[in-house]
Structure 1
């Protein structure tokens, strides 16, 4: 027991109750699932696949565990790098109407039914309803599937001409079709492929490049990334880690303004680009600086809602749906994990807002 830990429980007992937490590495998701089924893990949520639900439920008794159902607050969406190295793509990605068109051109209901059996809620990336900074306008912006309106917006940007295969052409007279590469995990998921298909319906040819995490970070840090998708988290308590909204740090992922973030961190970075003087990113950064200097939770929340208002108008990253079921495996006898809560992560604390200092075993003698 750590006698220097800062907290005690209401009875004065020294926390944490459990002396040690250990983590097992894995590289194969099937191996990870087998460990869960065999009851080799005491508590786990991250990297549990919803597709494994049936086998996990069937083996609850033999594995001596229970599967809990939580609500995952993360929102699936796309990040177009508005600072990508290619001039034509950068111009396209910086167009607000382009990002709105992508939102209108994605059939959220169909995709949720196809891939998630209808689970989830259509939404942009915003704080969930439990959050003190929930912003309904942002959550509900541009959600309706309207391919005609989407195509009209793209035509209005001047990307009218198409080739014989129906792909849009760059408006510089080159006759070249509009293409870009979407960076993702080593194997393309059904979700990523479906999104690429919808982009194709809008007239864009999108290629997929699958890489491992380390190479992905390298490509972000050299600004050799045009587009990625992700489940955007950190939204239940946004002020604890607002990096996706503010992009004031971290050029390792979610690169909607990658080179501008690099400039914010270090103007001497080789990939750094100073944002245009009249760009709304300056307002976001200024509001965040005000929040850091402002005492009082309500005053901070009011300022942060101004950032969310900008997001509701500009859609820096386009969100599609969230609130999917989150599976949490808990070993029988392991206490302190309570089902039904919203699940999020902040600054790598994947145990969410539940305090692992208060986890305990009902029979500690069996776990010495």
Structure 2
């Protein structure tokens, strides 16, 4: 009801429009051919829509999102020496410290992001500032020291670091992206940052099908990707990180997870059994306890231990996050609330309530519905 207690003209019909791709949808949103749209608009679309004026037939909402840019180094890669290299906790911390996040933020996202680890966002009940800021300060000097301490202090004739057996520290960084655009630019900057540390990082653009095939065989060495799921992580993070394999965003320990879910099979080159004392077993144990606990307080206490372990072991290399999600709304459409977080990883459930949306002038938005037709009699 409105302020005077009269029933508001809530919506009776929802019309879904099919578009050929994200680019055509963005253009339709700019022309106000759609009335409300958030997905698949991206953080780097903000600059396009932020130039809106009061005379435009739409307005822009900037919704808090759990979007993150992350690098996933495959700690369960099927071959050496990469499995040992990425498996070193000091190496993963060095990768964190060796990334110039502010430059990537400015070049790719107009400076709108925040350098942070992949972790719950401030709007989440499980937000942990210590976790979100762990190891994100750019410190290539300390990163080099950690690599030396991990046994990668030797340099070959070309200046690249090598292990004790003289094998170069080199890996392919996959991106499921075109050769241009924010993700590709970020990948090149990341490669340059790691080159400064003496690590050879070769950017490898892949099409979606090629990536899935490579991932299914545990042949992804590392991937630069975008993740969400950090609004309600106690639900979505478990499903995303510990129950699926072969996705663009689940390559940090795919071989270990495959072994956990499916075990070994004769001739299987995908499953990799983690050592008996590996920290990932502790992580799995905590999640298993969370999954069956009927007590919310106990679940939260267990999840706090998950976060502490996540901060200590650095499973993912978080780069930036904390950027708003653009949401384009037609002028006159009401009850979309600003400030409500947007997250794709909540199983289709959102905080906005479409059943309460209404038009200021509903007479301009009527829909003529055809009479239902009956099938012809035989």
Q: TM-score range by the shorter chain?
A: 0.7 to 0.9
User: Given the alignment of the two structures, is residue 20 of structure 1 paired with residue 14 of structure 2, yes or no?
Assistant: yes
Local SS of the residue matching 2:223: strand
| Residue aligning to 1:307 | 306
**Distance in 2 between residues matched to 1:248 and 1:95, nearest whole Å:** 24
| Residue aligning to 1:355 | 353
Which residue, 164, 168, 171 being the options, matches 1:177? 168
**Distance in 1 between residues matched to 2:97 and 2:86, nearest whole Å:** 15
| Residue aligning to 2:201 | 206
- On the 8 A contact 1:248/1:264 being kept in 2, the answer is no
Alignment of 1:180-199 (within 5 A): 180-188=171-179, 189-199=184-194
- On the 8 A contact 1:196/1:206 being kept in 2, the answer is yes
Structure 1 residues 119 and 51, CA, compared in 2 at 3 Å: closer, same or farther?
closer
Q: Work out which of the two has the higher radius of gyration on C-alpha atoms and give 1 or 2.
A: 2
Deviation at 1:62, TM superposition (A): 7.2
Q: Which moved more, 1:16-25 or 1:61-70?
A: 16-25
**Distance in 2 between residues matched to 1:18 and 1:221, nearest whole Å:** 44
**Aligned residue-pair number:** 351
User: Given the alignment of the two structures, is residue 141 of structure 1 paired with residue 138 of structure 2, yes or no?
Assistant: no
- On the 8 A contact 1:75/1:320 being kept in 2, the answer is yes
TM-score by length of 2: 0.84
Deviation at 1:135, TM superposition (A): 2.1
Deviation at 1:106, TM superposition (A): 1.0
**Distance in 1 between residues matched to 2:358 and 2:261, nearest whole Å:** 41
**Distance in 1 between residues matched to 2:50 and 2:122, nearest whole Å:** 30
- On the 8 A contact 2:78/2:255 being kept in 1, the answer is no
Deviation at 1:252, TM superposition (A): 1.5
Structure 1 residues 255-286: Cα deviation after superposition (integer angstroms, max 9, x where no partner): 11101111222114632222211111111111
Structure 1 residues 200 and 264, CA, compared in 2 at 3 Å: closer, same or farther?
same
Q: Which runs of 5+ in 1 are unaligned?
A: 1-10
| Residue aligning to 1:8 | none
Local SS of the residue matching 2:186: helix
User: Given the alignment of the two structures, is residue 127 of structure 1 paired with residue 120 of structure 2, yes or no?
Assistant: yes
Q: Which runs of 5+ in 2 are unaligned?
A: 368-378
TM-score by length of 1: 0.86
**Distance in 1 between residues matched to 2:274 and 2:43, nearest whole Å:** 40
Which residue, 112, 118, 122 being the options, matches 2:105? 112
User: Given the alignment of the two structures, is residue 226 of structure 1 paired with residue 218 of structure 2, yes or no?
Assistant: no
Local SS of the residue matching 2:174: strand
